[in-house]
Amino acid sequence: MPRSPGRPPLDAHPDARAALLDAAVALYAERGIAATTTADVAARAGVTPALVHYYFRPRERLLDAVVDERVSRFVAHVTARLPGADTPTPAWVAAFADAVFDAAEAMPWMPPLWIREIIAGDGALRMKMARHLPREAIGALAARIAEGQKRGTIDPAIEPRLAFVTLAGATMFPLATQPLWANIAPGAVPTRGDLRRHARAVLAHGLTGPATAAARGGRRAAARATPARSVSG
């Protein structure tokens, strides 16, 4: 089957193409999509602006590709690490948080991209992300919460529909603030370990609550998935 001449085959992923996607996703995270020009992307990838159009003809196709070939990887990375349905909710939540932190280690562009382009405003990426959202996991989480409330183990003031938003916010939000710390308190920048421990604690028993048995259990569960080093309840 001959492909139209002058167009790269859809399944061809030469170096330049991958380099462009990497450059694009990094710049989108740093400056935002609207502030990133085709020339910026080309410059960071070390190629000509014309080449960007060679691969991603209308500018928006670059966005599509970033979503389908970069952002979706992050989602897949996280969902692949989610524990089974039989895991108790607190442990499941802690494991989710861990998965996000692990993924952000490899793909640090995701947290800023997420909060800037998916959460806020019209979010250029929001619509495109729709088909990559882990709907199943989101639904399951809401169901878990609702069920826990029925059983009396989860505060009824929690809104199940907002559980995923809170979970994502508690992890992505502090991760996205990291560059911010350089300005606020250069000497005392929290490490990624601090962020992870803090996020798990907040999800387990809030900002002001004392360590509870449930939380300790959840943390212990997480210990199997991650470093939970010396932590005593």
Residues 8 to 37: which contact DNA by CB under 7 A?
8-9, 12, 14-17, 37
Q: What is d(CA 82, CA 78) in angstroms, rounded to the nearest whole number? A: 7
Among 47, 95, 203, 221, binds DNA (CB under 7 A): 47
Q: Using the rule CB under 7 A, is 1 a contact of DNA?
A: no
First vs last C-alpha separation in the chain: 64
Applying the rule CB under 8 A, the residues between 52 and 81 that interact with its own copies are none
Say how many residues touch its own copies, by CB under 8 A: 83
Q: Using the rule CB under 8 A, is 194 a contact of its own copies?
A: yes
Q: Please spell the DSSP secondary structure of 61-118, one letter per residue.
A: HHHHHHIIIIIHHHHHHHHHTPPPTTS-HHHHHHHHHHHHHHHHHH-TTHHHHIIIII
Q: What is d(CA 220, CA 211) in angstroms, rounded to the nearest whole number? A: 13
Q: What is d(CA 33, CA 31) in angstroms, rounded to the nearest whole number? A: 7
Applying the rule CB under 7 A, the residues between 53 and 92 that interact with DNA are 53-54, 57-60
Binding segment for its own copies (CB under 8 A), chosen from 13-21, 62-70, 72-80, 171-179, is: 171-179
Contact footprint for DNA (CB under 7 A): 2, 5-9, 12, 14-17, 37-39, 47-54, 57-60
